[in-house]
Amino acid sequence: MSQLYLCCTDRSFNLGIFILKDCNIETPEEPIEINVSKRVDVDSVFVHYLMKELFLSDLYRTHFIQNFTKKHKIELLKLYLLPTKYNLIDYNWNERVYQLVRERCELDHTLSWLSTLGGAFSALGDYFATCAETAGKISVHQLKLALRLRDPSIAARCRLYLSLSLIQKKKYKLARWIIEREYENAKSATVIDARLLNMCRDISKLRTTPHNHVL
């Protein structure tokens, strides 16, 4: 069974000596004496992938050993690690991800702000028609953000907020259609959202008072 000694080193010290065999990779327990060796200058990042492949692939390791022991008659291969020429961080991709993360943070912040503002106008919508109208517009803006975030649960809540505004404006048929649609979608979802179902039930159970209306 053929074998090859592999030594990884940089300018300061040896990083490790390995015994490459057809079946596995070992580390020598005792000092070794080598007659024929060869030094190869390699990129430090390349060495990482080379060692990983030598550990994982028996076929690659066997051909690697045979190439140096039989073809070049070498007993020890010294890999001299050089500083990498390539950026270890993909800055272009990092910039794209950064923009996506920042956009998500800003959308979440805006959605929370609109939710607070919309709740205030919705509460006043029982008393003032203009507030009910404003609450409906805020719900539409929230829905646009939820769709951009690709969050179906938040989008469903925004449509229910809109239906509440429609009730305050006495547009009962459209409000009923929205509530029934969201209720059916929530019931047939893969993951049942109990809070969403309760919202549908609560809005549909609104009773007539001096300041609000029912479907």
pLDDT in tens, 56-89: 888 888 888 888 888 777 788 888 888 887 777 7
Name which residue leads in pLDDT, 9 or 14.
9
What's the CA gap between 23 and 143, in Å, rounded?
60
108-119 tens-digit pLDDT: 888 888 888 888
Q: What percent of the chain is modeled with pLDDT above 70?
A: 87
- Condensed to tens digits (0 to 9), the pLDDT of residues 24-53 reads 777 777 666 666 678 888 888 888 888 888
Nearest to 50 by CA among 37, 39, 64: 64
Using CB atoms within 10 Å of the CB of residue 213, give its burial: 0 to 12 exposed, 13 to 18 middle, 19+ buried.
middle
CATH topology of domain 91-204: 1.25.40
Model pLDDT, residue 15: 65
Rounded (5°) CA angle 16-17-20:
130
> Residue 73: which of 82, 65, 61 has the closest Cα?
65
The whole-number pLDDT of residue 211 equals 47
Q: Is the pLDDT of residue 163 over 80?
A: yes
**CA gap 2, 20 in Å, rounded:** 9
Q: How confident is the model at residue 14 (pLDDT cuts 50, 70, 90)?
A: low
Region(s) of the chain under CATH 1.25.40: 91-204
* Token pair for 194: 């109990």
